[in-house]
Chains A and B, each alone.
Chain A
Amino acid sequence: MPRSVARRLLAGALTLALAVTLTACGSGGDDEEGARGGPTTAARGDSGAGGRRGGVLRVISEEDVDSPLDAGHTYSSAAFNVLAATVRPLFRYAPDDPERSVPDLAAGPAEVAPDGRTVTVRIRRGVRYSPPVNREVVSRDVKYAIERGFNPSVANGYAPVYYGDVIGADRADGGPIAGITTPDDQTIVFRLSRPTGTLLAEAMVLPLSAPVPPEVARRYDARPVGGYSTYAAHQASTGPYMFAAKPDGTVQGVGIVPGRRYVLRRNPNWDPATDDRPAYLDGIEWSVGNDPNVAGRQVLDGRGMTLGDTPTAAIVKRAVQQAPDQIFFSPGAGNRYAALNTKIPPFDDPNLRKAVAAATDREQMRLVRGGRMLGDVATHFLYPGVSGFEEAGGLEGPGVDFLADPSGDPEVARRYMAAAGYPDGRYTGGETITVVGDSGDPSDKDAELVDEALRSLGFRTRLLLVDANTMFGRYCASPRARVNVCPNLGWIRDFADPQTVLDGAFNGAAINQENGSNSNWPQLDDPAINAAMARAELIVDPQERARAWGRIDRMITETGAAIPWLWDRQPVVSSEDVRCANQLWNQGHCDLAFSSLR
């Protein structure tokens, strides 16, 4: 999924991937990281077991959590973090085990028929919605939840990708999908047009499968305001926590105040007997819009707080030097890259793209975020922990000359400029380059460094720094906005399959002209790469898949369509009395249902 915010993905071809086997290739990432000059701070996840009951955790962040905060719509890590506490998808991950999914709403593992075309899931009894809905969850609620993902007013980004093979999904627009049936209140059956049942079973960890009461949601889904369903403002929770609400169930303004705060309280209708999660905390208060340095200091020195997004370099330094127990570097937290728009001049010219890549000081881009602790300078797109990483070249990468020197190589840049027709090494054309970056600290500094690299090559630039939501929704994920460079992009796996890192991001078939919906940000449309992806999706053998996708990673890197600059180890900072169960499957932030206060 994209690092921060939700968007729509076009349906891509699906894979026969045996995701479960593949995730085995992702394990062992922890120790590797630790040995490669990483921090001595804890690299092992905390399961959270044995925590003390009680207390309110305050999460402080600069960036807003996604809006609308609707489980059927969101596709960002912060939103997944919050919603993991309030909704119960069919499956989930334990915080310290990102490889193996366990049943959440489901009563047991999904049953995939031998031909791979049918998936049956049984759900638990005794799971109830929060007040005022109160009633028990039935299988029809899960069916509705998935169907509404196809409703344009909900616009789920991954529904067409992972549920697209369900019979009837190709024509779905919010109405019933024939391929999803509920023979009884506890059973839900998916019939697929292709044998991709195993992938679908794995995809059920995503929040789209969390139940939604149709009698509540239907009226909001049917009459969208400003293009979106407003169900999120009245959502019912099934998890250990719910959004604070008025007696009539209205959440907006109380538990959800976009741009300000989110307030979670215990869900009185949550029955611990139906859930393996301890839910130690009495409540969570998530405050957004905070200055990251002030917030970082408050978290480090205070009590009962944790940072909800990325700390600044100064905070990372302070934590590592003065409070190493309060900072955790979550491995395998995704990649970061700068996308160059390959569809419009001047970056339709690959030589110019490679010149920019060679001129970019990726080492310093990492330095301004906090330095070596934050991960390795990236040389391609699959990151450590994802299968295919070694096959794509590992740490060294495919060995392209324009990425050979992490600090940038002016000589190589000059050569590519000359090859593009600018023998002096400086651009003399008429285009003004629009660069749209994230205004949050430290991402704004990375954007400025990329902007500087462009200007060093003689480009005239217009640098626009906006918040992350706007950056994606209005500019970078909207081809019509005609943005030339987006430096603050990145991708995290949906689950440990290399396809989920490369397909949506670089497949020509994934290009979507709708505003805010394009995930192939550089709009790379290379026929050779597209064909290779189409073939690789169908490979079953995990070793072969790794090789195939590793090769595709090399091909993508060689086009220069995007400049990979970091493989993240996401730093997570908490107060000393916070027992943070870091979500290793996400970005390492505290899992609200497992964390506690000492």
Chain B
Amino acid sequence: MSVGTPGVLREPFAQPPADGGERAFGRSPAQLFWRRFRRDRVAVAALAVVVALVLVALLAPLLLKLVGAPGPNARDTSALDDFGAPTGPSSAHLFGVDDFGRDVFARTVYGARVSLLVGLAGTAIAALLGTLLGLLAGWSRGWVDTLLVGLVDVMLAFPVLLLGLGIASACTLGDGCAGGLIAPGLRTVLLVVAAIGWTVIARVVRGQVLSLRERDFVDAARVGGASEWRIVSREVVPNLLPTVIVYSSLMIPQTIMFEAALSFLGVGVSPSTPSWGSMLADAAPNFDTQWWYMLFPGLALLVTVMAFNLLGDGVQDALDPIARL
């Protein structure tokens, strides 16, 4: 999904991997995947960074205590001068403070929580939804399939960011949307991510299912008397996994950037929840005098997205070596 910033998902160039030289005997696909993945040093490094990020997010309070930083919402008025201007990095505040006197280091660390939550959970929901619907469409064909394809086309016609903006703002007025269920905040962001992300996965899964159902092993299973359900769950789904994994891993960084963009524009998570995007928005007016507030969240975003991008590349290459060149 494109947010007006680049995000491209490649179609995998080949079906589940032919080895290109590996000995296939005695190794499961998962083991093969790991072998290839391990060889790619960059990908391994990216994985390490991602794991570190997840740990930081999970153990945020502990980390803060270790470093001696105050909480993300604690206002330290002494760090603001007589004019209310915040001070930069100091011994008391590693990354400086923001306009309210809140510690930027603490907020950057806590910001990881929001980004990772939306990135991972949002993508997971979108992937699950997309897989189910794509499977349904590809397997049933007929009007179900046509309907789904049409729906996907319509959803993809919307620039994601504007749709997210539109929903968030429309649901701000009056009493919110759908009886107050949809209001700006984390839930809405997840909702929009899921609502748009499923389309890409569904399209890809559908394509794969369409070709898979013609394959010999499916006919063989049918002849052998297996029920539709068994065929689907035993034969088709496992073959979908690589594709879904690849696309999901490529979607994660885009989701993270999408949440940051929404927060930057003021319709993401609530203003008090630390989010890298809204921190950048707060930093924007004064970046020439308060560079620390702009630098650290931006770097955090950059590193996180890069790591996930590299990880996604690594996963794709490991699952699909012909494309790795």
Contacts and interface: CB of A to CB of B under 8 A. Distances in A.
B286 A367 contact: no
B290 to A, nearest CB: 8
A316 interface: yes
Interface string A364-376: 1011111111000
A371 B285 contact: no
A349 interface: no
A317 B77 contact: no
Given A364-B77, A368-B100, A441-B285, A455 B82 contact: no
Given A448-B271, A455-B272, A291 B285 contact: yes
A464 B176 CA distance: 11
Interface in B207-223: none
Contact of A368 (B82, B84, B172, B266): B84
B85 A317 contact: yes
A367 B285 contact: no
Interface in B116-132: none
A503 to B, nearest CB: 32
A476 B266 CA distance: 21
A313 interface: yes
Contacts of A292: 285
Nearest to A364: B77
B83 A373 contact: yes
Nearest to A456: B73
A405 to B, nearest CB: 13
A314 B183 contact: no
A293 interface: yes
A585 to B, nearest CB: 27
Interface in A150-198: none
Contacts of B80: 367
B83 to A, nearest CB: 4
Main secondary structure of the interface of A (DSSP, over half): helix
Contacts of A370: 83-84
A99 interface: no
B272 A372 contact: no
A363 B80 CA distance: 12
Contacts of A441: 285
Interface in A289-325: 291-294, 297, 312-314, 316-318, 320
B285 A320 contact: no
A407 B270 CA distance: 24
A463 interface: yes
B75 interface: yes
A369 B272 contact: no
Contact of A317 (B83, B99, B172, B270): B83
A66 interface: no
Interface string A451-478: 1100100000011110000000000000
A426 interface: no
B82 A372 contact: yes
A445 interface: yes
A107 interface: no
Interface string B78-105: 0011111100000000000001110000
A451 B272 contact: yes
Interface string A406-449: 01000000000000000000000000000000010100010011
Nearest to A407: B77
B140 interface: no
Given A293-B286, A312-B285, A465-B266, A367 B84 contact: yes
B146 interface: no
Contact of A371 (B73, B84, B172): B84
B320 to A, nearest CB: 46
Contacts of A463: 270-271
Contact of B83 (A297, A313, A361, A465): A313
Contacts of A314: 83, 85, 285-286, 289-290
B153 to A, nearest CB: 35
Interface string A268-295: 0000000000000000000000011110
Contact of B172 (A364, A449, A464): A464
A464 B85 CA distance: 25
A294 B84 CA distance: 18
B298 to A, nearest CB: 18
Interface in A521-547: none
B77 A367 contact: yes
B286 A364 contact: no
Nearest to B83: A317
Contacts of B75: 361, 364
Contacts of B286: 293, 312, 314
A86 to B, nearest CB: 32
A445 B272 contact: no
Contacts of B83: 313-314, 316-317, 320, 370-371, 373
A293 B100 contact: no
B272 A371 contact: no
Contacts of A361: 75
B85 to A, nearest CB: 5
Nearest to A292: B285
Nearest to B286: A314
Contacts of A318: 289
Nearest to B185: A462
A464 B184 CA distance: 10
Contacts of B272: 448, 451-452, 455
Nearest to B101: A364
B182 to A, nearest CB: 12
Nearest to B290: A314
Given A368-B99, A455-B272, A463-B271, A293 B285 contact: yes
Interface in B240-295: 266, 270-272, 285-286, 288-290
A363 B101 CA distance: 13
B97 to A, nearest CB: 12
Contacts of A291: 285
Contacts of B270: 463
Contacts of B77: 363-364, 367, 407
28 contacts: A292-B285, A293-B286, A297-B288, A312-B285, A313-B84, A313-B85, A314-B289, A316-B83, A317-B85, A318-B289, A361-B75, A364-B75, A364-B101, A367-B77, A367-B80, A367-B84, A368-B84, A371-B84, A373-B83, A407-B77, A441-B285, A445-B99, A448-B271, A452-B73, A452-B272, A462-B183, A464-B172, A465-B266
The 7 closest A-B pairs by CB, nearest first: A317-B83, A293-B285, A367-B84, A313-B84, A371-B83, A371-B82, A371-B84
Interface of A: 291-294, 297, 312-314, 316-318, 320, 361, 363-364, 366-373, 407, 439, 441, 445, 448-449, 451-452, 455, 462-465
Interface of B: 73, 75, 77, 80-85, 99-101, 172, 183, 266, 270-272, 285-286, 288-290
Given A313-B83, A318-B289, A463-B271, 10 more contacts: A293-B285, A293-B286, A313-B84, A313-B99, A314-B85, A314-B289, A320-B83, A367-B80, A370-B83, A464-B172
